[in-house]
């Protein structure tokens, strides 16, 4: 008898690790996912209960064990019942504020603010005088 399985991209999406199924498929196709230690590049790879998944999510490596196959993409507590997370608790708490959904921190060297642009224009005008 065969064990019940599900597509990897669908499982990652239903377990709420990725916002869309196509994002999950893109990460898998890029080779950023492993099932039981073996690199997987096909989104249709089968996963079932007991499999260990390793993948990159939000600039950190996640390691989870599949404990069940969800029927739908439900609320987060329902999704969390289908996997066991191996991430240490102190890292989970430290990463929570960064993933809180607030605006991202501006990158140095990015687009200047309106005030910075005006100051730059003023300095350039004075240099030409």
Which residue do the tokens 């191996």 mark?
86
**Residue 47 three-state SS:** strand
As a whole number of Å, the end-to-end CA separation of the chain is 85
For 84, which DSSP code? E
Q: Residue 17, Cβ neighbours under 10 Å: how many?
A: 19
pTM for this one? 0.68
Domains of the chain: 1-92 (3.10.290.10)
Per residue in 48-99, pLDDT (tens digit) is 999 999 999 888 899 999 999 999 999 999 999 999 999 876 655 555 555 5
Question: Nearest to residue 47, comparing CAs of 91, 82, 88?
Answer: 82
Beta bridge partners of 63: 54
Hey, which residues does 35 pair with through a beta bridge?
38, 53
Q: How many of the other CB atoms lie within 10 Å of CB of 13?
A: 21
Tens digit of each residue's pLDDT (9 = 90 or more) over 96-125: 555 555 566 666 677 888 998 898 899 988
């Amino acid at each position: 008898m065969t064990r019940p399985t599900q597509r990897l991209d669908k499982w990652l999406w239903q377990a709420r690790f990725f916002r869309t199924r196509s994002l999950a498929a893109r990460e898998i196709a890029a080779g950023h996912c492993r099932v039981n230690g073996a690199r997987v590049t096909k989104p249709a790879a089968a996963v079932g209960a007991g499999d260990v998944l390793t993948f990159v999510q939000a600039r950190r490596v996640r390691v989870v064990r599949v404990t069940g196959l969800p029927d739908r993409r439900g609320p987060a507590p329902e999704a969390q019942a289908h996997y066991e997370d191996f991430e240490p608790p102190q890292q989970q708490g430290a990463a929570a504020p960064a993933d809180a959904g607030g605006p991202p921190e501006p990158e140095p060297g990015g687009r200047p603010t309106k005030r910075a642009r005006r100051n730059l224009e003023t300095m350039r005008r004075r240099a030409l005088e």
